[in-house]
Amino acid sequence: MSLYQIEFQGLKIHPWTMQESLDFIEVNILKRKKYLQHVVVNSAKIVYAQKDQMLKRAINNSDLVNIDGMAVVWGLKLIGYNVKERVSGIDLFHKLLQLASEKGYRVYFLGAKSDILDNMIMNLKNKFIDLNIVGFYHGYFQKDEEEYIARQIRDSRADMLFIGITSPKKELFIDKHLEFINIPFSMGVGGSFDIISGKTKRAPKWMQKKGLEWIYRIIQEPRRLWKRYAYTNTVFIYMVMKEIFRKII
Protein backbone atom coordinates (compact mmCIF):
# COMPACT_ATOMS: atom_id res chain seq x y z
CA MET A 1 0.00 0.00 0.00
CA SER A 2 1.54 3.29 -1.08
CA LEU A 3 0.84 6.61 0.55
CA TYR A 4 -0.39 9.57 -1.47
CA GLN A 5 1.77 12.31 -0.01
CA ILE A 6 1.71 16.07 -0.36
CA GLU A 7 4.06 18.74 0.97
CA PHE A 8 3.10 22.02 2.62
CA GLN A 9 5.49 24.45 4.29
CA GLY A 10 8.27 21.88 4.31
CA LEU A 11 6.10 19.21 5.96
CA LYS A 12 4.91 15.96 4.43
CA ILE A 13 1.20 15.27 4.90
CA HIS A 14 -0.89 12.23 3.98
CA PRO A 15 -4.46 13.33 3.12
CA TRP A 16 -5.90 9.87 3.70
CA THR A 17 -9.38 8.92 4.82
CA MET A 18 -10.03 7.33 8.21
CA GLN A 19 -10.51 3.87 6.69
CA GLU A 20 -7.36 4.09 4.58
CA SER A 21 -5.41 5.06 7.68
CA LEU A 22 -6.85 2.20 9.75
CA ASP A 23 -6.09 -0.34 7.02
CA PHE A 24 -2.50 0.86 6.72
CA ILE A 25 -1.95 0.69 10.48
CA GLU A 26 -3.41 -2.79 10.89
CA VAL A 27 -1.40 -4.22 8.00
CA ASN A 28 1.76 -2.99 9.71
CA ILE A 29 0.74 -4.48 13.09
CA LEU A 30 0.04 -7.84 11.51
CA LYS A 31 3.21 -7.98 9.44
CA ARG A 32 5.40 -6.27 12.09
CA LYS A 33 7.77 -5.23 9.32
CA LYS A 34 8.72 -1.90 10.86
CA TYR A 35 7.98 0.50 13.69
CA LEU A 36 5.19 2.73 12.40
CA GLN A 37 5.35 6.29 13.69
CA HIS A 38 2.10 8.27 13.46
CA VAL A 39 1.37 11.93 13.98
CA VAL A 40 -1.49 14.31 13.27
CA VAL A 41 -1.08 17.92 12.18
CA ASN A 42 -3.33 20.90 12.73
CA SER A 43 -2.76 24.56 11.92
CA ALA A 44 -0.95 25.22 15.22
CA LYS A 45 1.49 22.35 14.79
CA ILE A 46 2.26 23.40 11.21
CA VAL A 47 3.00 26.94 12.40
CA TYR A 48 5.21 25.83 15.30
CA ALA A 49 7.14 23.43 13.08
CA GLN A 50 8.39 26.36 11.01
CA LYS A 51 10.58 27.50 13.92
CA ASP A 52 11.02 24.24 15.81
CA GLN A 53 13.32 22.12 13.65
CA MET A 54 13.14 19.15 16.03
CA LEU A 55 9.35 19.11 15.72
CA LYS A 56 9.60 19.43 11.94
CA ARG A 57 12.02 16.51 11.80
CA ALA A 58 9.77 14.37 14.01
CA ILE A 59 6.79 15.04 11.73
CA ASN A 60 8.75 14.30 8.57
CA ASN A 61 10.19 11.14 10.12
CA SER A 62 6.66 9.84 10.72
CA ASP A 63 5.28 7.15 8.45
CA LEU A 64 1.71 8.43 8.55
CA VAL A 65 0.80 12.12 8.98
CA ASN A 66 -2.97 12.61 9.21
CA ILE A 67 -4.79 15.93 9.06
CA ASP A 68 -6.48 16.74 12.38
CA GLY A 69 -7.96 20.21 11.95
CA MET A 70 -10.59 21.54 9.55
CA ALA A 71 -8.51 24.68 8.97
CA VAL A 72 -5.83 22.49 7.37
CA VAL A 73 -8.44 20.60 5.30
CA TRP A 74 -9.91 23.86 4.00
CA GLY A 75 -6.54 25.49 3.47
CA LEU A 76 -5.11 22.61 1.44
CA LYS A 77 -8.29 22.39 -0.63
CA LEU A 78 -8.04 26.11 -1.43
CA ILE A 79 -4.47 25.57 -2.60
CA GLY A 80 -5.70 22.78 -4.88
CA TYR A 81 -4.90 19.55 -3.07
CA ASN A 82 -7.29 16.60 -2.98
CA VAL A 83 -8.21 16.24 0.69
CA LYS A 84 -11.22 13.98 1.25
CA GLU A 85 -11.75 14.34 4.98
CA ARG A 86 -10.34 15.23 8.35
CA VAL A 87 -8.93 12.35 10.38
CA SER A 88 -9.33 13.48 13.97
CA GLY A 89 -6.71 12.09 16.33
CA ILE A 90 -9.23 11.26 19.04
CA ASP A 91 -11.56 9.53 16.55
CA LEU A 92 -8.69 7.46 15.17
CA PHE A 93 -7.68 6.68 18.77
CA HIS A 94 -11.17 5.37 19.55
CA LYS A 95 -11.33 3.24 16.42
CA LEU A 96 -7.91 1.73 17.13
CA LEU A 97 -8.96 0.88 20.69
CA GLN A 98 -12.06 -0.82 19.33
CA LEU A 99 -9.89 -2.71 16.84
CA ALA A 100 -7.50 -3.73 19.63
CA SER A 101 -10.40 -4.97 21.73
CA GLU A 102 -11.81 -7.01 18.86
CA LYS A 103 -8.51 -8.45 17.62
CA GLY A 104 -6.63 -8.84 20.90
CA TYR A 105 -3.91 -6.28 20.17
CA ARG A 106 -1.94 -5.20 23.25
CA VAL A 107 -1.95 -1.49 24.16
CA TYR A 108 0.21 0.78 26.34
CA PHE A 109 -0.66 4.30 27.55
CA LEU A 110 1.83 7.05 28.37
CA GLY A 111 0.75 10.48 29.53
CA ALA A 112 -1.43 12.71 31.73
CA LYS A 113 -1.48 12.87 35.52
CA SER A 114 -1.82 9.60 37.42
CA ASP A 115 -5.42 10.21 38.52
CA ILE A 116 -6.51 11.15 35.00
CA LEU A 117 -4.75 8.09 33.61
CA ASP A 118 -6.48 5.85 36.17
CA ASN A 119 -9.91 7.32 35.34
CA MET A 120 -9.33 6.94 31.61
CA ILE A 121 -8.32 3.30 31.97
CA MET A 122 -11.37 2.60 34.13
CA ASN A 123 -13.67 4.18 31.53
CA LEU A 124 -12.00 2.30 28.68
CA LYS A 125 -12.33 -1.03 30.48
CA ASN A 126 -16.04 -0.36 30.91
CA LYS A 127 -16.42 0.46 27.22
CA PHE A 128 -14.03 -2.09 25.71
CA ILE A 129 -14.35 -5.16 27.94
CA ASP A 130 -11.75 -7.21 26.06
CA LEU A 131 -9.15 -4.43 25.76
CA ASN A 132 -5.73 -5.83 26.69
CA ILE A 133 -3.86 -3.04 28.50
CA VAL A 134 -0.31 -4.25 29.10
CA GLY A 135 1.06 -1.13 30.77
CA PHE A 136 0.75 2.59 31.50
CA TYR A 137 2.83 5.46 32.91
CA HIS A 138 2.01 9.07 33.73
CA GLY A 139 3.27 11.90 31.55
CA TYR A 140 4.93 14.07 34.19
CA PHE A 141 8.36 12.49 34.04
CA GLN A 142 11.80 14.08 33.99
CA LYS A 143 14.34 13.83 31.20
CA ASP A 144 16.46 11.33 33.12
CA GLU A 145 13.44 9.00 33.45
CA GLU A 146 12.98 8.57 29.71
CA GLU A 147 15.26 5.57 29.33
CA TYR A 148 13.49 3.74 32.17
CA ILE A 149 10.07 4.46 30.66
CA ALA A 150 11.19 3.39 27.19
CA ARG A 151 12.43 0.11 28.67
CA GLN A 152 9.08 -0.46 30.43
CA ILE A 153 7.27 0.09 27.15
CA ARG A 154 9.58 -2.26 25.25
CA ASP A 155 9.24 -4.99 27.87
CA SER A 156 5.43 -4.78 27.71
CA ARG A 157 5.54 -6.13 24.12
CA ALA A 158 2.64 -3.86 23.21
CA ASP A 159 1.28 -3.67 19.67
CA MET A 160 0.11 -0.06 20.06
CA LEU A 161 1.53 2.82 22.09
CA PHE A 162 -0.64 5.89 22.73
CA ILE A 163 1.02 9.00 24.14
CA GLY A 164 -1.17 11.64 25.78
CA ILE A 165 1.41 14.40 26.14
CA THR A 166 1.43 17.89 24.64
CA SER A 167 3.36 18.79 21.48
CA PRO A 168 6.22 18.73 20.73
CA LYS A 169 7.18 16.50 23.69
CA LYS A 170 5.18 13.50 22.47
CA GLU A 171 6.50 13.72 18.91
CA LEU A 172 10.07 14.01 20.14
CA PHE A 173 9.68 11.05 22.53
CA ILE A 174 8.41 8.78 19.75
CA ASP A 175 11.06 9.99 17.32
CA LYS A 176 13.86 9.37 19.81
CA HIS A 177 12.81 5.95 21.18
CA LEU A 178 10.90 4.43 18.27
CA GLU A 179 13.33 1.65 17.33
CA PHE A 180 14.31 0.82 20.91
CA ILE A 181 10.75 0.28 22.16
CA ASN A 182 10.12 -2.10 19.25
CA ILE A 183 6.36 -1.48 18.97
CA PRO A 184 4.60 -1.77 15.58
CA PHE A 185 2.49 1.38 16.03
CA SER A 186 3.07 4.53 18.09
CA MET A 187 0.71 7.50 18.15
CA GLY A 188 0.57 10.81 19.99
CA VAL A 189 -3.01 11.58 21.05
CA GLY A 190 -2.59 14.95 22.79
CA GLY A 191 -5.44 15.81 25.15
CA SER A 192 -7.50 12.68 24.37
CA PHE A 193 -6.69 11.18 27.78
CA ASP A 194 -8.30 14.19 29.49
CA ILE A 195 -11.46 13.81 27.41
CA ILE A 196 -11.84 10.06 27.92
CA SER A 197 -11.16 10.41 31.66
CA GLY A 198 -13.97 12.95 31.92
CA LYS A 199 -11.75 15.87 32.94
CA THR A 200 -12.63 17.88 29.83
CA LYS A 201 -15.42 17.64 27.29
CA ARG A 202 -15.20 17.44 23.53
CA ALA A 203 -17.05 19.96 21.40
CA PRO A 204 -20.56 19.04 20.19
CA LYS A 205 -20.76 17.22 16.84
CA TRP A 206 -22.00 20.29 14.98
CA MET A 207 -18.98 22.29 16.12
CA GLN A 208 -16.65 19.48 15.06
CA LYS A 209 -18.19 19.40 11.57
CA LYS A 210 -17.97 23.20 11.24
CA GLY A 211 -14.33 23.25 12.32
CA LEU A 212 -15.13 25.17 15.51
CA GLU A 213 -13.63 22.82 18.13
CA TRP A 214 -10.88 25.36 18.79
CA ILE A 215 -13.50 27.87 19.99
CA TYR A 216 -14.95 25.27 22.34
CA ARG A 217 -11.47 24.57 23.72
CA ILE A 218 -10.86 28.28 24.30
CA ILE A 219 -14.13 28.52 26.23
CA GLN A 220 -12.93 25.70 28.52
CA GLU A 221 -9.37 27.02 28.94
CA PRO A 222 -9.41 30.72 27.91
CA ARG A 223 -6.34 31.85 29.84
CA ARG A 224 -4.10 29.16 28.36
CA LEU A 225 -5.38 28.94 24.80
CA TRP A 226 -6.73 32.23 23.42
CA LYS A 227 -3.34 33.80 22.65
CA ARG A 228 -2.07 30.57 21.08
CA TYR A 229 -5.03 30.23 18.72
CA ALA A 230 -5.05 33.93 17.83
CA TYR A 231 -1.40 33.69 16.81
CA THR A 232 -1.37 30.31 15.06
CA ASN A 233 -4.65 30.79 13.16
CA THR A 234 -3.48 34.16 11.82
CA VAL A 235 -0.10 32.81 10.73
CA PHE A 236 -1.67 29.74 9.12
CA ILE A 237 -4.09 31.87 7.08
CA TYR A 238 -1.11 33.91 5.89
CA MET A 239 0.72 30.71 4.86
CA VAL A 240 -2.26 29.51 2.83
CA MET A 241 -2.79 32.85 1.10
CA LYS A 242 0.90 33.09 0.29
CA GLU A 243 0.82 29.63 -1.30
CA ILE A 244 -2.31 30.49 -3.32
CA PHE A 245 -0.73 33.68 -4.66
CA ARG A 246 2.48 31.80 -5.45
CA LYS A 247 0.55 29.33 -7.62
CA ILE A 248 -1.37 32.10 -9.38
CA ILE A 249 1.78 34.05 -10.22
For range 126-150, the mean pLDDT: 95
Q: Beta-carbon neighbour count of residue 206 at 10 Å?
A: 8
Q: What is the structure's pLDDT at 3? A: 65
Residues 6+ apart with CB under 8 A from 153: 108, 110, 135, 137, 161, 177, 181, 183
Q: Is residue 36 part of a domain?
A: yes
Q: Is residue 19 part of a domain?
A: yes
Which element (helix H / strand E) includes 67? strand 64-67
In percent, how much of the chain has pLDDT > 70? 98
Domain count, the chain: 1
- b/e burial code for range 44-53 (CB count within 10 A of at least 16 → b): bbbbbbeebe
Q: Is residue 180 part of a domain?
A: yes
CA–CA dist 155, 36 (Å, integer): 18
pLDDT at 43 over 90: yes
pLDDT digits (tens, 9 = 90+) for 52-80: 999 999 999 999 999 998 999 999 999 99
pLDDT at 181 over 80: yes
Domain CATH for 23 = 3.40.50.10700
Q: Is residue 233 part of a domain?
A: no
Q: Is residue 242 part of a domain?
A: no
Q: Is residue 241 part of a domain?
A: no
Q: Is residue 238 part of a domain?
A: no
> In the predicted model, what is the mean pLDDT of the chain?
91
Residue numbers of the domain that contains 165: 6-205
Q: Bridge partners of 136? A: 109
Which element (helix H / strand E) includes 40? strand 36-41
Q: Is residue 213 part of a domain?
A: no
CA–CA dist 84, 103 (Å, integer): 28
